Structure 1
């Protein structure tokens, strides 16, 4: 199944992510990250970037959104692949979503960005939860990219194409730090992740690629890094393609950590087979290099960053 050829629409995202802690005990359907709201300075920068794109195209073709996903939410199974509504959740999943503690906070933030990948801007996902003082908090999450807009009323149980598209979208929106980073997401399979000439001119640094299926019976998500983009990614504190570098304060030894349950499998230049000559995305990457050097998937999302000033 295909959502159609790549169009001149693009996807530019902002990412704000809190530092990793232990993985959630409550399972989630896919990988993501949670963080702070955009501050006033970031909003001004977003406005400037949006204006630049609008001036060339006459309208904003990009999904320019504040994102705040962290690797804490990179665990599967709280959701059902049935209709994307609160009523379709398992009782345990719904209870976790409404939990007033840290688990609920992370799940609600994850759900916000799952909805933004899956649904259209005219679709919403609504529910409410009570805090420990009994105060009711209504939540309304609006769609953006529309990768699986029909999920609002139907299921994606047997649609591995869509499951992988949503997984890749959310995985690419995962980061380690609580900072705001503008990125461009591109692939060949979704019209909402094409790119405009203005977007390609502004976001020239290829960071890496993301793929997987967190709806599978054995959920997984993988990433690879573009060697030429590692330095810029780490300048911007984007670590889920190349890995998070940490230094032991006692020994001074340097280690590179994975991004939650996301497996960083190596260099995209080695693992991916072709770069699209117009949009610059990787056309396909090895499904699992640890198992086979031949089996590839083309359901990959490639992320791009702005160059150093």
Structure 2
């Protein structure tokens, strides 16, 4: 059996080297240069061309190169018999937690404000926020959300979570479902989105929900661009309800040159770099599932197409 790598414009050489370093005898193929597509049962993918799996009639596992799977599930022609898996790499989780902490502290201590002042030779200052008077709300209590919550709690923040279903986490109150969303939002001075992208969570950061945040709340989106309604965020920044936002993900990437986010004084932009998969770190769990598939054993980190995660 072999592994085929299928992407649309993403560099594959790192994955090829990492797979061969761990398993020299493994046949690693890169789409579309695959002679016998009917013999391929395992695909490693990110942002694949829609409908491409029709070319692989015997595919049994479609593995994401990252923690997200919305790029796979958006394909209306996925083979119904294929198992879909995601990555749960400790390095990804660690890096996301560190990035979220960095964005929170940047906001708390007004570092962007002082960078702007430096450029203007301006020696003014303003009072900063403290952990005593700031509550953080995290939307999404999966592996990434729970880890970020734990890291922020260590720094002295009060942290609440929100999830689709009930979850029990030590020291963190987790609100659940639509019935508790407004209560969660009302207590979130800093709102962090770490939700999976599903039909239920798309556009969840809209004018109605963001208006429920306390005045001068700050929004951080490190999940997916389609969670956020762009024009609604801008409206609430412009009318003074929100203090600002840090955005790492966008509906269209790269962000179009004429997008208003680029020049908005209350928005910080990073180019989807919060947590980047290291093939050398992640390849072991890919190969573990590859071996499990051969042995007809249950795979790890299986995704429900119905739930979207």
The answer to whether the superposition gives a TM-score over 0.5 is no
**Which of the five TM-score ranges fits, normalised by the shorter chain?**
under 0.3
Greater Rg, structure 1 or structure 2?
2
- TM-score by structure 1 length? 0.22
TM-score by length of structure 2 reads 0.22
